[in-house]
Amino acid sequence: MSLSRRDFLAASAVTLGAFLARPLDVLASQQPVFTPIRRNVGTFTMRGGTVGWLVNPRGVAVVDTQFSAEARVLLAGLRERSRNRGVDVLLNTHHHGDHTAGNGVFRGVTRRVVAHGMADQHMRRPPQPPQQAQQAQQPAAQQQATQPPAPQPLYPDTTFTHIWSTGVGDERIVARHHGRGHTSGDAVITFERANVVHMGDLAFHRRHPVVDRAAGASMRNWARQLEQVVNAHARDTIYIFGHAREGLPVTGSGAELLQFRDYLGAVLAFVERHVAAGRSREEILAMRAPLPGFEAWGPFGQAGPRDPISVAYEEVTTGA
């Protein structure tokens, strides 16, 4: 049965070093890629969540840092592009380790580290045993070969509740919090003059997202946020996605954000329909086929506490 946009709307990890992204991200290509986007803003991809950067004649800014080994490559590339300038500001879109584990590499390099207050709280909590076990899946010898010793964590020294902004050279950077989404501490980072917006993990491009309910995620509010962000920006805004399906770009337009909004609504509607039909959690989780209309996302993976079907079931049955 097809669902209208109206139906969709109506329906509508953790600490430093924790590997909450799916294995596709953890084991992704190690080749670093710096990609300019517009007006001194670009992306860096290697392993983990997409990094955003700004290098202009009077300043440098970074959004997220991936893991420590990748952060060293990132920093070297930034120094080359900026003629060895320091970093004016490092912003974290949220607390997950594939976006923040490289922060320590920027100790003594960046003047400040900025994140939402809830992201800061999550970042400072010790890893939970399941996350430690997930990190330990890689053989010890391989970890030593691929990951040099990690530096000490570098936490935010500046936090905000709703909005924070600063100037870096002739660019204005604004960080906004729209409430619960992928976590309870997500920030949307806008480079105003470049008209580029870093969404962090509020944007997964045609792939099933990680939904960190333990850290305050809300799929319903997440869907609303995506529409709010698109409505608040120009039609030609370029958005940076936290993750993309293999082979797809990590940047795009508001159309991709609205498509992801519809996907979240479709997941909630799918679960809501089967709960109303009296099906159990186990029966619903066993339905792993792609959602009609969203085949590009592929079948759902193995059920787990951050799987969108599992989280949707919690939201539908608890109302929270």
314: in domain: no
DSSP 8-state class, residue 26: H
Say what the pLDDT of residue 319 is.
84
Q: Range of 215's domain?
A: 13-266
Sheet bearing 171-176, strands edge to edge? 163-168, 171-176, 188-191, 196-198, 238-240, 251-252
Q: Which CATH number goes with the domain that contains 235?
A: 3.60.15.10
Say what the pLDDT of residue 134 is.
36
Say what the pLDDT of residue 29 is.
53
40: in domain: yes
Say what the pLDDT of residue 305 is.
83
53: in domain: yes
Helix (H) or strand (E) holding 172: strand 171-176
159: in domain: yes
Q: Work out how many domains the chain is built from and give that number.
A: 1
287-310 core/surface letters (b: 16 or more CB in 10 A; e: else): eeeebeebeebeebeeeeebbbbb
CA dihedral 136, 137, 143, 147 (to 10 degrees): -80
157: in domain: yes
Alpha carbon 177 to its chain centroid, in Å, reads 13
Name which of 115, 193, 195 is nearest 160 in CA terms.
Answer: 115
Say what the pLDDT of residue 300 is.
86
Classify burial at 47, counting beta carbons within 10 Å of its beta carbon; exposed 0-12, middle 13-18, buried 19 or more: buried
174: in domain: yes
Say what the pLDDT of residue 128 is.
61
Low-confidence ranges of the chain (pLDDT < 50): 1-28, 130-145
271: in domain: no
50: in domain: yes
